[in-house]
Structure 1
Amino acid sequence: MHIITLVKWVPDAQLERRIGEDRRLDRSQGILGELDEHPLETALQIKEQHEAEVRVSALTMGPSGASAAVKKALQIGADDGFHLTDEALQAADIWTTSAALAAAINYVRATSEGSEYLVLTGMASEDGETAAVPAQLAGRLRVPALTQAREVTLEGRRVVVTRLSGTRMQRVAAVLPALVSVTDQANEPRYPNFRAIMKAKKKPTTTFSLADLGLTRYAVESKVSLIAAEPRPERQAGEIIHDDGTAGQKTVEFLSKEGLL
């Protein structure tokens, strides 16, 4: 059984986000996305339940610095890491991301000698926040997509998921191979201890490019391009309404003027 967990190198949310002169988000101070720690924890829990039968691989796509996300995943407990990096993937939109990752997953699968596989992703990425890649990726891989999972278990060749849909909790299942996006309600991610950090140094990491996947830059050309970017305007001071007997009327007028009624 091979579990391929997608991880992403994202800007640190504690820092101010900046757009560079190339109209790209500054990722010089990135971290492993917090939302990606939940699918990784899910993968490790499945491995612990099934002992040596499960291999957990961490896969990322991004510039050279994105290797830090793989390194953190190895420290947390992944068995090996894979890093797809290519200049042609800079500023990739969701179409390009899903196309490149689908090919990358097949590349990673080829290292596991045809065993059953499960792809785990986060519910969204902290930078793009589209939550659209998991479904697109499942479509490209031609496997079932079980999204927004709050609980994931493996029962033989089936993956069983508990998810919230509207006001109802659903329990759905699919035969492997499959893709599951895991929410931040699924578990509490573990922290790597010193022993795990040292052990991670000996775990293998494979770096590869589009050429290794048999893809050209035209095969993954983004459908969306950023035309312009500028800092958001400074926050304006709010309007204070003093109650002189007409505060209610002034409040209604203000809300109406702002289109909030």
Structure 2
Amino acid sequence: MRVVVCFKHVPDVVSQRRIEDGRLVRGEDDTLNELDENAIEAAVQAVEDLGGEVIAVTMGPEDAEDSALLALQKGTDRAIVVADDRLEGTDAVGTAQVLAATIRALHAETPVDLVLTGMASLDGMTSMLPATLAAELDLPYVGLASELEITETTATAKRSADGFTDTLQVSFPAVISVTDQVNDPRYPNFKAMKAARSKPLDIWSLDDIPGFDVDNVQVGAESAGTQILGADQEPERVAGTVIQDSGDAGVKLAHFLADVLK
């Protein structure tokens, strides 16, 4: 079995994020997108059970190599980072086109059975990429799988929403996104960290993707279907008003509410 798992290099959710010129500043405390760790774990478990190869793929800046290394430590066999200055500002459609071209190039080497992704990235939180990628690859898609059983030819997914549970089965090749309920991602031990250093980790430009015609795809901010008009940080919360009760707290509270509701 050959599985491609897509991941993203994002600003750490616990770091102090900064907005400059209406955009989130990247490259300071960036790390592997937490929700993609579940997709990586699902891919690695499938190959451990059935044999084969897991290839981790991302589009991002060159420092996404750090997240690619972590994906290798978590059990993937190979990693590819597509990094190119022409990609800055690319939206979900353009990202899907680049990832799809990379996956098609891998498929030409040896057929790819399954593409796995996380449910969303913790920077944009649009959840648009998985379905867009499936459409670009012209493959069946199952989204938001909270349980996943993979055989050599099919995947059976369960997903819960609005008080009911779907059980869906899809034949390979296919694209599946998983939620953070599907498994518990492993934490790499020292042996896994050491082994990751000897695994292939490639940095590709757009020109390295076989058959990729950059003039006929929607990459870069100018080609994006959506534009960021602005982004502002929320103002810091101010201390609330404390009313001391000396027998007239109810009256003071009523006056306070009256002032607020004016």
Same fold (TM over 0.5): yes
CA deviation string 1:176-219 (max 9, x = no partner): 11111111101111111111111111111222122233232662
Name the SS of the counterpart of 2:28 in structure 1.
Answer: coil
The one-letter code sitting in structure 2 at the alignment partner of 1:146 is: V
Q: CA distance change for structure 1 residues 5 and 250 in 2, over 3 Å: closer, same or farther?
A: farther
Alpha-carbon distance in structure 2 between the residues aligned to 1:253 and 1:164: 44
Specify which of 121, 131, 155 is matched with residue 151 of structure 2: 155
Separation in structure 1 between the aligned mates of residue 242 and residue 83 of structure 2, nearest angstrom = 52
* Coordinate RMSD, CA, aligned: 2.4
1:176 aligns with 2:172: yes
In the alignment, what sits opposite 2:132? 136
2:158–2:167 Cα contact (<8 Å) kept: yes
Tell me by how many angstroms 1:42 deviates: 0.5
Cα distance in 1 for partners of 2:104, 2:255 equals 62
5 Å matches for 1:35-46? Answer: 35-46=35-46
SS of structure 1 residue aligned to 2:146: strand
Residue number in structure 2 paired with 1:103: 101
For 2:30 and 2:129, the matched residues in 1 are separated by: 20
Distance across 2 between alignment mates of 1:68 and 1:98 = 22
Q: Secondary structure at the match of 1:131?
A: coil
Q: CA deviation at 1:119?
A: 0.5
Count of paired positions:
253
**Within 5 A, what are the aligned runs for 1:36-75?**
36-50=36-50, 52=51, 54-75=52-73
Question: Quick one: structure 1 residues 247 and 165, their matched pair in 2 at CA, closer, same or farther if it must change by over 3 Å?
Answer: farther
Aligned partner of 1:18 in structure 2 is: 18
Partner of 1:201: 197
Alpha-carbon offset, residue 254 of structure 1: 7.7
Q: Which residue of 2 aligns with 1:88?
A: 86
Q: Could you say what secondary structure the match of 1:161 adopts?
A: strand
Unaligned runs of 5+ in 1: none
- Runs of 4+ displaced beyond 6 Å: 254-257
TM-score, normalisation: structure 1: 0.87
Which segment drifts farther, 25-34 or 70-79? 25-34
1:211–1:235 distance in 2 versus 1, CA, 3 Å: same
TM-score (norm 2): 0.87
CA deviations over 1:20-55 (Å, ceiling 9, x no partner):
4584522222111111110111011111211x3x21
- Tell me the equivalent position of 1:244: 249
The offset of 1:97, in angstroms, is 1.5
1:143 Cα deviation after fit? 1.0
- The amino acid of 1:200's aligned partner reads A
Partner of 1:28: 28
The residue identity in structure 1 corresponding to 2:40 is L
Amino acid aligned to 1:39: A
Secondary structure of the residue aligned to 2:3 is: strand
Letter in 2 for 1:244: A
Correspondence for 1:78: 76
Alpha-carbon distance in 2 for matches of 1:237, 1:69: 39
Which shows bigger deviation, 59-68 or 28-37?
Answer: 28-37
Q: Structure 2, unaligned stretches of length 5 or more?
A: none
Distance (Å, rounded) in 2 between the aligned partners of 1:101 and 1:94: 10
